[in-house]
Structure 1
Amino acid sequence: MSLMSGFANPVVYDPFDARFHDDPFPVYRRMRDEAPVYYNEKWNFYALSRFDDVRDAIRDSETYLNFEGIDLDDTNSQGGAGNIPVLDNPRHDEIRGVVQRQFMPRSIKKLEDDIRTVVTTLVDSFADRGTADLADELCWPLPYEIFFDFLGLPDGEDREQLKAWSHGLKDRVPDSAELTPVAIESTTRSRDYLAEMLARRRREPKADLLTHIVQADIGGVPLAESEIDAASEIVGLVFGLYLAGIETTSGLLTTLFHQLGTHPEQQKALRENPSGIPNAVEEGLRYKTPLQLVVRTSSREVTLHGVTIPRGSRVAMVLGAANHDDRQFEDADEFDALRPAVRHLGFGEGLHGCLGNPLARLEAKIALEVALPRLGQYEIAGTVRRYASTPNAAGLDRLPVSFQRGRA
């Protein structure tokens, strides 16, 4: 029995529908109130939307497994073996352990000067102009430059090609779970390129993450096979990092600059008191969670709120809905950059909590610290546009603004 029965106008939650993403919050509210265990017959998945239910589920790595992937569409086929988000234990902890230390806050802290230099250079390029597209000129270039340098990927034409492929990877058609030909080709080319780079690093090691990975072992057994090809587990690991390392951060950045552009009083408060910026970053993660949902597969039958989820079901934990639950947050549908620190699910929790969250938080913090005083009071100056991506992603690829001409 579904909690939706008895309602004349049933809840419709379809993240494949592009129109849904224009304003998902009313649907999320109805899900939480009327159908906390929602079943989508068209796409054959269940969805949890209340904060406590989602948090309990993402922390229960024995009941909800990742082996079938965390996406509703065919994105799961892109990562391959070694891709951390689709691994369960014991292999999950073994593979994640290879790179865990490099993503710890203490290690990421060493990148602060480099991040500040990149942000400053990007802002310098438009600060005297009075207009900019912050998505195109700051929020996307920043994570590309930082993460590609962190991995150890080359500059120049190679990097530009990788950027093009990374966008191609996310090419989708609304109302379809299938990868497009562009996404398939971009996947193939990206994996082939990463295999080549890992083989090169084995021959010519450098002080970068690719070298660390290709030289790693697990219990004395080398992670890299003698012949590295696109299907190798080590390529899946790097490909997963490559997939996740850009879009989550750009989504967070575009949300922050978009919302502050529509809340001038909050923008002004942060300029006058930059110590509030870390809390503003957390509010951006809560308000428009970059990864709106993650999907797992139930290993057993689960009954919740009177609804039975059969064993083997695909279950979406809708982080974006949980982070707007008014059972957990006051004025949950309002963006408040000055909100005191709250516990949210912006990066998940438990076994599969986001590995790169310290880096994304640091990039967002520095971007606001540098850009807000340089731009002065800015406002949205045109139509913003959602980045066309997978059903679970939230972010913008167009964010036009106008501003006072800043000064260093």
Structure 2
Amino acid sequence: MGDVVPAPWGGFFVTGFDSANQVLKGRGWLAPDFAWQERQEDAGRWDAVATQEMTKTLARLNAPEHTCQRRSLGNLFDRTTIERLTPQVEEHAGKLLDGLAAALEGGGEADFVSLVSDRLPISTIGGWLGIPAEDYDHILEITHNQVHAQELLPTRSELAVSADATAHLRKYFTQLVQARRERPAHDVLTGWIHTWDAMEPDREAADEILYRLTMFVTIASLETTATLLSSLVSLLAGDPERWAELRAHPERIDDALEEVLRYDPPIHINTRVAAAETELAGVTIPKDSMVHVMYGAANHDPRRNEDPDTFDIGRRGNHLTFGGGVHYCLGAALARLEARSLLVQLLDRFPDLRVTTPATYASRMVFRRVTSLGVTI
């Protein structure tokens, strides 16, 4: 249908790899922030509680607010941090696989999502931020419910669920910031508190920003990575020959991971707006028009990846799964660490792992949440 396709509600779908890359990296494309929402004729469309709350987070900010907040975080997952986190992630993965082994003992079937995929990301980010382990289930539940607000066309009932989840998120992370103020520790959140206290003299304003940063980094780390871990198993262990090949050639693990990211990205759509009237792939885009970058379509552009609908762990192709430009995914290195750590241990401990029940997905367009995946040995 073309690289840029009109959407029924007045925006545009961007499907070609080069066009999508241009939008993600170009300075002429902005996040749909409050200023943009207020300029819309149907401004009421954006009044939902959860939508308003997410518009305050990094993903929906533009310069200078985005620049200031992102710089305050520093390089979250640089090489030193990843090296420090690696033993912890490997330990978390090992314990979760102990539980999987117990569930599969005697040739039974187990749900990989509930036992492993959902658990590793919350264990990783929770330990990094100092979130008590007894709160993990609560965080997972409200995160699953909150993301409805980030869909393209959420229903009223979905927005109501998201509003309730948003209230719980605000309460939880506001209390987390306050608790860390009262009992500082040698952790990343305490460091952010020191940074923002120095930057923002108004303690209340600083705490509001700290709440949003902590909440956003947490929820952004969960469903996306969980879906990546499930897709990893679905695509690799779903083919016994492919699983055996990877076990025989562990040097291909990183290529296999990148092919999973290309083939079925955890997020399929990301939205930007035109800062001024412009042309994209020969199509005129009016100022303030929404463009929906289709990650899955772009990753399957045959001009960039030959025979794109074939899953090939030796491809070494290109993908846009982590976005680009100033909004490039903060947790890309952490997601790769979790996926690689898990895959290495799975290949070693479960040589005969196979998929028995195909992955099922939540009914969503943006976040590809895998809700179940049956496996056995």
Decide whether aligned partners of structure 1 residues 121 and 182 sit closer, same or farther in structure 2, where only a CA change above 3 A counts: same
Give 1:121 deviation, angstroms.
Answer: 0.7
Decide whether aligned partners of structure 1 residues 212 and 400 sit closer, same or farther in structure 2, where only a CA change above 3 A counts: same
**CA distance in 2: counterparts of 1:65 and 1:364, whole angstroms:** 30
Counterpart residue type for residue 212 of structure 1:
G
Q: Does 1:56 align with 2:22?
A: yes
Counterpart residue type for residue 204 of structure 1:
R
The answer to whether the 8 A contact 1:46-1:314 is kept is yes
Q: Does 1:186 align with 2:165?
A: yes
2:12 pairs with one of 46, 54, 68? 46
Secondary structure (helix, strand or coil) at the match of 2:312 reads coil
Match of 2:265 in 1: 289
1:66 pairs with one of 16, 20, 31? 31
Match of 2:129 in 1: 151
**CA distance in 2: counterparts of 1:159 and 1:372, whole angstroms:** 27
Give 1:387 deviation, angstroms.
Answer: 3.2
Decide whether aligned partners of structure 1 residues 181 and 106 sit closer, same or farther in structure 2, where only a CA change above 3 A counts: same
Give 1:325 deviation, angstroms.
Answer: 0.5
Alignment: residue pair count: 361
Q: Does 1:322 align with 2:298?
A: yes
Give 1:126 deviation, angstroms.
Answer: 2.2
1:396 pairs with one of 353, 367, 370? 370
**CA distance in 2: counterparts of 1:279 and 1:330, whole angstroms:** 16
Match of 2:118 in 1: 140
Secondary structure (helix, strand or coil) at the match of 1:262 reads coil
**CA distance in 2: counterparts of 1:122 and 1:40, whole angstroms:** 43
Counterpart residue type for residue 187 of structure 1:
T
Counterpart residue type for residue 379 of structure 1:
R
Give 1:358 deviation, angstroms.
Answer: 0.4
- Equivalent positions of 1:269-348 (< 5 A) are 269-339=245-315, 341-348=316-323
Q: Which runs of 5+ in 2 are unaligned?
A: 37-44
Q: TM-score, normalised by structure 2?
A: 0.89
Match of 2:64 in 1: 90
Give 1:160 deviation, angstroms.
Answer: 2.3
Secondary structure (helix, strand or coil) at the match of 1:227 reads helix
Residue-by-residue CA offset, 1:157-186 (whole Å, 9 max, x unaligned) = x33222221122134799635543221111
**CA distance in 1: counterparts of 2:369 and 2:249, whole angstroms:** 26
Residue-by-residue CA offset, 1:360-397 (whole Å, 9 max, x unaligned) = 000000100001221222222124211345x2112312
- Equivalent positions of 1:376-395 (< 5 A) are 376-389=351-364, 391-395=365-369
Counterpart residue type for residue 277 of structure 1:
I
Match of 1:195 in 2: 174
Give 1:250 deviation, angstroms.
Answer: 0.8
Query: Which deviates more from structure 2 when the two are superposed, residues 196-205 or residues 121-130?
Result: 121-130
The answer to whether the 8 A contact 1:100-1:355 is kept is no
Q: TM-score, normalised by structure 1?
A: 0.82
Match of 2:40 in 1: none
The answer to whether the 8 A contact 2:123-2:133 is kept is no
Secondary structure (helix, strand or coil) at the match of 1:290 reads coil
Counterpart residue type for residue 20 of structure 2:
V
Q: Which runs of 5+ in 1 are unaligned?
A: 1-33, 404-408
Counterpart residue type for residue 194 of structure 2:
Q
2:187 pairs with one of 186, 208, 214? 208
Decide whether aligned partners of structure 1 residues 248 and 362 sit closer, same or farther in structure 2, where only a CA change above 3 A counts: same
The answer to whether the 8 A contact 1:66-1:85 is kept is yes
Counterpart residue type for residue 39 of structure 1:
P
Give 1:106 deviation, angstroms.
Answer: 2.4
Q: Does 1:36 align with 2:14?
A: no
Give 1:243 deviation, angstroms.
Answer: 1.9
RMSD (Å), alpha carbons: 2.5
Identical aligned residues as a percent: 28
Match of 1:160 in 2: 137
**CA distance in 2: counterparts of 1:93 and 1:320, whole angstroms:** 28
The answer to whether the 8 A contact 1:45-1:314 is kept is yes
Decide whether aligned partners of structure 1 residues 189 and 207 sit closer, same or farther in structure 2, where only a CA change above 3 A counts: same
Match of 2:233 in 1: 257
**CA distance in 2: counterparts of 1:151 and 1:192, whole angstroms:** 16
Residue-by-residue CA offset, 1:89-127 (whole Å, 9 max, x unaligned) = 222122111223232232122111111111111111122
Runs in 1 of length 4+ with deviation above 3 angstroms?
A: 72-76, 171-179
Decide whether aligned partners of structure 1 residues 314 and 208 sit closer, same or farther in structure 2, where only a CA change above 3 A counts: same
1:112 pairs with one of 66, 77, 86? 86
The answer to whether the 8 A contact 1:195-1:228 is kept is no
Q: Does 1:126 align with 2:100?
A: yes
Query: Higher helix share goes to which structure?
Result: 2
Residue-by-residue CA offset, 1:207-258 (whole Å, 9 max, x unaligned) = 222212222138x4238x423698x222221221122111111111111100
**CA distance in 2: counterparts of 1:67 and 1:211, whole angstroms:** 31
**CA distance in 1: counterparts of 2:182 and 2:21, whole angstroms:** 44
Decide whether aligned partners of structure 1 residues 259 and 275 sit closer, same or farther in structure 2, where only a CA change above 3 A counts: same
